[in-house]
Structure 1
Amino acid sequence: MAFTHTERRLHQMMFADRDYERKPILQLSGDCPVVTVQNWAERGYSVVNVQCKDRTKLLFDVVCTLTDMQYVVYHATIDTAGDGASLEFCIRHTDGTPISSEAERQRVIQCLQAAIERRASEGVRLELCTADRQGLLADVTRTFRENGLNVTRAEVSTARDMAHNVFYVTDAAGNPADTKIIEAVREKIGLGNLKVKELPLIYHQKEERDEQAVGVGGAVLLSLGSLVRRNLYNLGLIRSYS
């Protein structure tokens, strides 16, 4: 029985779930990868160029995605400068033909962007620690999907028959996930197994805005209360006992 690398398996499941078609309404990060695809007619290749922020396992994610889409990489050039990365691949289909339509070209762009952003995107950080078993990853991601959660980034590992997985999730549109949905998912998977470890900055900003709104509201109510009391006192409708 062939063994598939766990992180590659995650890419395959997200690809099968067509997560690359989901367009976030709210862009949480400014480091969006730029992917272009052009045909090199003289050589019969399609040339894929990726410009993005450099990070660990970037090459792994891109090559796995191209391979799972049934492309063969014939030549590649990788360059990094500062925190940026430039990757160029000459690819063909497994039958030796280049990309043949605009729809296919756009699909390659979307899939590569999604593969890169799965590790780079923000979201609610969930940590899963439980006994490893066959089909665990598929069951967890299916539970996320059934509850309208999108996995934007994942780190999976096993040690001594224990699975230690980290998932960053948003709602299906790419916006911050509802905390009630997060808790419902935790109850299904196991409150002791799946824990919320980190909320993205946008959640904290919302809490601060809510606190400020309450503070301002309280000040306004206090001011109005003082004004009303003073007017009632002037009209002789209330008495001072000081």
Structure 2
Amino acid sequence: MEWHTCLDEYEKLVIRMSTPRVVVDNGVCPTATLVKVDSARRHGILLDTVQVLTDLNLSIKKAYVSSDGQWFMDVFHVTDLNGNKLTDESVISYIEQSLETTDPYRSHGFDGLTALELIGTDRVGLLSEVFAVLADLQCNVVDAKVWTHNGRISALIYVEDGSPIEDSQQIHRIEARLRNLLKGDNNIRCTKISVSMAVPHTERRLHQMMFADRDYERACFAA
């Protein structure tokens, strides 16, 4: 086996061991859902966990933290704002995926870039058209993460035009062009576009966007 192959396998092993293991358990406590996080000890992991739960407006009733050497386990007793256990599978899946996709070894490298957040109805060729519009507006795409689910698309695209995009007129042009593109021929109203500074947790932000899109989409079709 070549040396670089050995290094690749070792890196995969380290990442696998360092990735938090998350269990959401409704069978232990009669009054709360237990969220168990087992991981190698690293700076910020506890804050990351609490932030995910807070983002969902969950109430943390109790929390137990135990550690053994370089390993730790957090157990949170949580309920929704009405004091009920968590039963929504999408919420449970969001908690598990948000914490399990936390990668302590990934370099974000997005400082100084502009983040474009797009949500709309997915269709064939949409992403290619988005990139074409950005190229026409002299925006260089540095990185992009895209998720699709149930005919919806959520994208977080990092761009620059030689520096972070701060010109309000340029931002308005980007938003207007992309909004028209996402509406398409059907003039679908359920689209959201925002321009901001780069966010540190891309996967978590995509989870939040997709989760929030459920209620936004319902409101659009109900209107």
Normalization by structure 2: what TM-score? Answer: 0.45
Normalization by structure 1: what TM-score? Answer: 0.42
Asked which structure has the greater CA Rg, the reply is 1
